[in-house]
Structure 1
């Protein structure tokens, strides 16, 4: 077998490309880590979080999309329904706040509590058909 000899300049070039690439990847990781905000527990079961707000059209059981909209907070890969009838703020209060944010992705800081139960039952009438699962209530908006 014959050994292939690479010129010294090619070896240097490969090393430089490797170092530049690695330094860029490291910088990206540092920037991403700085942009993350940690949740702060304000009291038992309540958290101060900065989250994007998502507005979705209501979808009926049969898959039909309606014109009625619902508001969710986006946490990582899951969207949590905001149950306004248990919250200390109204839907109108949140919509007013969102209207003041000029960015496409509207991020707000909220004091929230995560709960599990019926989404659509506000009067305690459990005979009414309701979606169930994890949802969130808002205690207050933080400026």
Structure 2
């Protein structure tokens, strides 16, 4: 039986709408390229600028930079964000829209994130638009 993943309405730059196929989440990290960009490739250690929309599987929205009206920036691939993001975004290109289904062990772990309303067994779904990348001294491609 094939794993059914959510569908996403909206294009790059638009606030996504996520529709769930069933109340049962798949196991493991799932990364789906919704729109492939043609810009700079993201490397571990780069600072990425993204817009993102985060929901608990078949549940509540817990965070969205689209609704704040301001993208966010952070180092990627170096443990500064959840493991699911580090693994899913490195190697993607600027201009990409990516859906990431994150199991608890690659998200916030058994403790969850109570401030965001995330329990330790919640599967998270993110839609991420990669807006830009800044190479840093810590980028893996800048080490010779």
TM-score (norm 1): 0.25
Q: Flag the structure with higher helix content.
A: 1
Q: Flag the structure with higher strand content.
A: 1
Compare relative contact order (CA 8 Å, sep 6+) and give the higher one, 1 or 2: 2
